[in-house]
Chain A
Amino acid sequence: MMQAFLVDPFVVMYDAPIFFVEVFVSGLLSGVMYALVALGFVLIFKASGVFNFAQGAMVLFAALTFVGLWELGVNPWLALILSALTMIGVAFSVERIVLRPLVNQDPIIFFMATIGITYFLDGFGQTIWGSEVRPLDIGIPNEPFMDFADWSGLYINKFDVFAAVVCSVLVAVLAGFFTKTKIGRALRAVADDHQAALSVGIPLKTIWTIVWSVAGIVGLAAGILWGSKLGVQFTLALIAFKALPVLILGGFTSIPGAIIGGLIIGSGEKIAEVYWGDAFGGAIEDWFAYVVALIFLLFRPQGLFGEKIIERV
C-alpha cells in the first residue's frame, strides 16, 4: 500500500524522464488556461473587493455568444467584436442593476449576488443559444509538433502552445494597461483604497464597469480557448471551479499570483493524476487542487503573493 504511494511513482518517473517532462509541460500549458480564468476573478476582486463567482458563467456566456454568432454566418472577427461588446453590455447591466443598489453591503452579500448572476447568465445564455454541445474550430490543430517530437522525443501540443501564447499576450497587455494608462492607475488607486480614490475624484462606478468589462473580455478569451478544446457547452461554466484553488494558491489580489498559481496547479494536477491516480483509484483531478490549496492555506493564509494584511482569526 505504502509502496504504491511513496515508491512506485518515483521509480516510474526515474525510468522515463522524457515522459515526465512531457507530462510536466502539458500540465504547465493547461495551467496557463486555468490562470486565464483565475485572472478574471483577480481583476474584479482587486478593483472592487467583490469575489465574482459569476466568472465561470461569463466564460460560458461569452463563448456561447461567439459560437452562436459565428454559426449565424457572421464573420468570425466581427463575431469576436460583437461578443466583446456583449460582455461590455453585461458589465454595464451588472453594475447598474446589481452592484449599485448593493453599495456598502457586506462583501458576503456581493458574493451571493454574484451567485445569482451566475444562475441568470447560465440560464439566459442557454435560453438564447440552446444547450447542445457546439464544436468550435478556430483553425489551430490539436496535434503535436512533429518536427520537434522527432528531434527531442517530446510531444508538445500545438494548440496548448497557442493557448499559452495568447495568455501571455493578454497578461502583457493587461499589465501594460494597469501600469501605463490613466485608467489603469485609477484602477490601482481604487484597489488600494475606495474612499481615498473617490476623494481625489476617481469615479468608482465607471471603474467598476471597466473592470467588469475587462473581466468579461478575459472571459471571452478563456471561453474561446476552452471551448475549442472541450466544445462550447455547459461544462465550460464549471471551469470556474478549477480556477478557485488557483486563486487560493496565488492570492486573490495578485495577477502574477494567478499565473504562477495556475502553473503550479496545472502541472501538479497532471503529475498527480498520471503517477498517483491509480494508487488513489483514478479521477483525482476533481479534488486534488482543492486539497493542495487547503493544506497550503493552513500554512500561508494569504496565498503566495497575496497581501499580508489578510485578516487572521
Chain B
Amino acid sequence: MIYREAGQFKTSYNSDQALLPIAQDRFFVIGLLVVAYVVIPFVANDYWLNSIFLQFFIFSLAAIGLNILTGYAGQLSLGTGGFMACGAFSAYKLATSFPDMHIIIVLFIAGLITALVGMLFGIPSLRIKGFYLAVSTLAAQFFLLWLFNRVPWFTNYSSSGVISPPPIKLIGDYYITGTQATNLTQYFFTLTLVVVMSLGARNIIRGHIGRSWMAMRDMDIAAEIIGISPLKAKLSAFAVSSFYCGIAGALWAFLYTGTVEPLAFEINQSFKILFMIIIGGLGSILGSFIGAAFIVVLPIFLNSAPAMLGLQLPGALVTHIEFMVFGVLIVFFLIVEPHGLARLWGIAKEKLRLWPFPY
C-alpha cells in the first residue's frame, strides 16, 4: 500500500523523463543521501570512515566502471586492475609534475588518460568477442603492471619502490592526501565524487550512448542494422569504463592506501571487482553499490565471525576459507539469481506495489 505510483500523474515531458519518476523512490534516495552526509559522519568512528566507507566508495566507482563495460556493453574485461593502476600512476605523475593543480583536475585528467589507454586496449574488441576478448584484456592487466613496475619514469626514479602521493589541499587548510588529511574530509570528498559520478553514469546509460551499448550487448548484428556503429559503441564503452576505473584507482592510491604501488592492482583486484558486479547485478548501477558493499563487508565478517563464536583460527586458514566462501557465493548467485542482488531488490519492489494482495 505504501509503495505505489497510483495518483502520481506526469503532466510534462520533463517529469516523464525524470531520473526517479516515482515519489517513493525519490524520498528513499534523498533519505539515503541525508544519512550518508549527516548521520554517518557523526556516528561512525575513524575505522568505519576510513576502512569501510572509503573502501566501499572507491570499489563502487570501479564496479560502476566495469559494469558499464561488462554489464551494459557486454564486453567481458579482466583488466580492471591494470586500468586502475593506470589511473593511479597518471594521477601521481600529474600531482608531482604540477604541484599546484587542484585534486579534482588531477583526477579528471588521470581519468582521461586512462580512458585513452582503455580505448587502445579496446581495439581488439572490434574483431573478437567473448572469451577471446576476456583473455586479451588480460594483456592490459599484465602489460600495464609490468610497465609501472619496470619503467622508473613512472615512479619519479624513486629508489625505495614505495612512493606516496604529495600532500594536496582540497580547499583552504583541508588536506585531502598525506598525513594531515582527516578521515572526514576524505569521506565527504569521495562521497560527493561517487554521487556525482554515479549520477553521470546513470544519465549516460539512459541516453543514446547507453542505449547503443545495450543494443550492442543484446545483439550486435541487429544493432548494426539499425544504424549503431560498433566502433563508436565499443570504444566509447571502453573509454567511459576506463575513466571510472582510472579515477577509482587514483583514489585508491591517494586516499585509501596512501601509497602508489602496482602491487595493489594485481589480477586479484580485477577479479574482486568482477565478483562485485556479478553478485550485485550485471547491468545495474544499484547492483554495483550492493556488490561493492557485499565484498567489502564479507571479509570483515569472515574475519570476526570465528572470534565471535569463540574459535581461534590461524590467519592463513581464514584467508583460504574466504577464498572458498567467495567461490561458493559466485556459483550460488549465478545459479539462483544470474541477475544479482539488484534483481532481488527489483522483485521486492514489484511485490510491494501489490501488497497486501497477491496479484
| Residue positions of A touching B, CB distance < 8 A | 51, 97-98, 101-102, 105, 107-109, 111-113, 115-124, 126-127, 131, 241, 244-245, 247-248, 252, 280-284, 286-287, 290-291, 293-294, 297-298, 301, 310-313
Q: Which residues of A contact B335 (CB under 8 A)?
A: 98, 101-102, 113
A-B contacts, 27 of them at CB < 8 A, read A101-B335, A102-B334, A102-B335, A107-B130, A113-B334, A116-B329, A119-B326, A119-B330, A120-B323, A123-B327, A124-B324, A245-B135, A281-B151, A283-B149, A283-B150, A286-B142, A286-B146, A287-B139, A287-B146, A290-B136, A290-B138, A293-B136, A297-B124, A297-B127, A310-B132, A313-B127, A313-B128
Distance A298 CA – B132 CA, assembled complex (angstroms): 11
Q: Which residues of B contact A286 (CB under 8 A)?
A: 142, 145-146
Q: Which residues of B contact A301 (CB under 8 A)?
A: 127-128, 132
Task: With both chains docked as a complex, state the minimum distance between the C-beta of B359 and any C-beta of chain A, in angstroms.
Answer: 27
Q: Establish whether residues A108 and B327, one from each chain, have CB atoms under 8 Å apart when the complex forms.
A: no
Distance A283 CA – B338 CA, assembled complex (angstroms): 40
Query: What 1/0 flags go to B308-331 for Cβ under 8 Å of A?
Result: 000000001100111111111111
Kindly identify which residue among B127, B146, B271, B320 contacts A126, using a CB–CB cutoff of 8 Å.
B320
| Residue positions of B touching A, CB distance < 8 A | 76, 123-132, 134-136, 138-139, 142-143, 145-146, 149-151, 220, 230, 267, 271, 274-275, 278, 316-317, 320-331, 334-335, 338
Task: With both chains docked as a complex, state the minimum distance between the C-beta of A256 and any C-beta of chain B, in angstroms.
Answer: 19
Distance A105 CA – B278 CA, assembled complex (angstroms): 14
Main secondary structure of the interface of B (DSSP, over half): helix
Q: Establish whether residues A311 and B129, one from each chain, have CB atoms under 8 Å apart when the complex forms.
A: yes
Q: Which residues of A contact B131 (CB under 8 A)?
A: 51, 107, 111, 252
Kindly identify which residue among B130, B274, B331 contacts A113, using a CB–CB cutoff of 8 Å.
B331
Q: A112-B274, A281-B151 are in contact. Are A131 and B316 (CB under 8 A)?
A: yes
Q: Establish whether residues B130 and A291, one from each chain, have CB atoms under 8 Å apart when the complex forms.
A: no
Q: Which residues of B contact A105 (CB under 8 A)?
A: 334, 338
Distance A145 CA – B93 CA, assembled complex (angstroms): 51
| Closest Cβ neighbor of A45 among chain B residues | B131
Task: With both chains docked as a complex, state the minimum distance between the C-beta of A252 and any C-beta of chain B, in angstroms.
Answer: 7
Q: Which residues of B contact A121 (CB under 8 A)?
A: 327
| Closest Cβ neighbor of B333 among chain A residues | A116
Q: Establish whether residues A120 and B331, one from each chain, have CB atoms under 8 Å apart when the complex forms.
A: yes
Q: Which residues of B contact A102 (CB under 8 A)?
A: 334-335
Task: With both chains docked as a complex, state the minimum distance between the C-beta of A284 and any C-beta of chain B, in angstroms.
Answer: 7
| Closest Cβ neighbor of B139 among chain A residues | A290
Q: Establish whether residues A123 and B128, one from each chain, have CB atoms under 8 Å apart when the complex forms.
A: no
Q: Establish whether residues B129 and A123, one from each chain, have CB atoms under 8 Å apart when the complex forms.
A: no
Q: Which residues of A contact B274 (CB under 8 A)?
A: 112, 115
Interface centre among B136, B230, B316 (most CB of A within 10 A): B136
Kindly identify which residue among B138, B317, B322, B330 contacts A116, using a CB–CB cutoff of 8 Å.
B330
Q: Establish whether residues B139 and A119, one from each chain, have CB atoms under 8 Å apart when the complex forms.
A: no
Task: With both chains docked as a complex, state the minimum distance between the C-beta of A51 and any C-beta of chain B, in angstroms.
Answer: 4
Q: Which residues of B contact A98 (CB under 8 A)?
A: 331, 335
Distance A51 CA – B145 CA, assembled complex (angstroms): 25
Q: Establish whether residues A244 and B138, one from each chain, have CB atoms under 8 Å apart when the complex forms.
A: yes
Q: Establish whether residues B324 and A123, one from each chain, have CB atoms under 8 Å apart when the complex forms.
A: yes
Given contacts A116-B328, A297-B132, 13 further A-B contacts (CB under 8 A): A101-B335, A115-B275, A116-B327, A123-B327, A131-B316, A245-B135, A283-B150, A287-B142, A290-B142, A294-B139, A297-B136, A310-B128, A311-B129
| Closest Cβ neighbor of A303 among chain B residues | B132
Task: With both chains docked as a complex, state the minimum distance between the C-beta of B141 and any C-beta of chain A, in angstroms.
Answer: 9
Task: With both chains docked as a complex, state the minimum distance between the C-beta of B158 and any C-beta of chain A, in angstroms.
Answer: 16
Task: With both chains docked as a complex, state the minimum distance between the C-beta of A88 and any C-beta of chain B, in angstroms.
Answer: 20
Q: Establish whether residues A244 and B135, one from each chain, have CB atoms under 8 Å apart when the complex forms.
A: yes
Q: Establish whether residues A248 and B136, one from each chain, have CB atoms under 8 Å apart when the complex forms.
A: yes
Q: Which residues of A contact B145 (CB under 8 A)?
A: 286
Q: Which residues of A contact B76 (CB under 8 A)?
A: 108, 111
Q: A122-B323, A123-B320, A287-B146 are in contact. Are A108 and B136 (CB under 8 A)?
A: no
Query: What 7 A-B pairs come out closest when comparing CB atoms?
Result: A123-B323, A120-B327, A116-B330, A119-B327, A123-B324, A290-B139, A116-B331
Interface centre among A107, A252, A283, A290 (most CB of B within 10 A): A290
Q: Establish whether residues A241 and B138, one from each chain, have CB atoms under 8 Å apart when the complex forms.
A: yes
Task: With both chains docked as a complex, state the minimum distance between the C-beta of B74 and any C-beta of chain A, in angstroms.
Answer: 8
Q: Establish whether residues B330 and A115, one from each chain, have CB atoms under 8 Å apart when the complex forms.
A: yes
Distance A112 CA – B332 CA, assembled complex (angstroms): 11
Q: Which residues of A contact B326 (CB under 8 A)?
A: 116, 119-120, 123
Q: Establish whether residues A120 and B150, one from each chain, have CB atoms under 8 Å apart when the complex forms.
A: no
Distance A15 CA – B151 CA, assembled complex (angstroms): 30
Distance A59 CA – B339 CA, assembled complex (angstroms): 31
Interface centre among A107, A115, A293 (most CB of B within 10 A): A115
Q: Which residues of B contact A280 (CB under 8 A)?
A: 150
Q: Establish whether residues B230 and A282, one from each chain, have CB atoms under 8 Å apart when the complex forms.
A: no
Q: A123-B323, A131-B320, A282-B150 are in contact. Are A248 and B127 (CB under 8 A)?
A: no
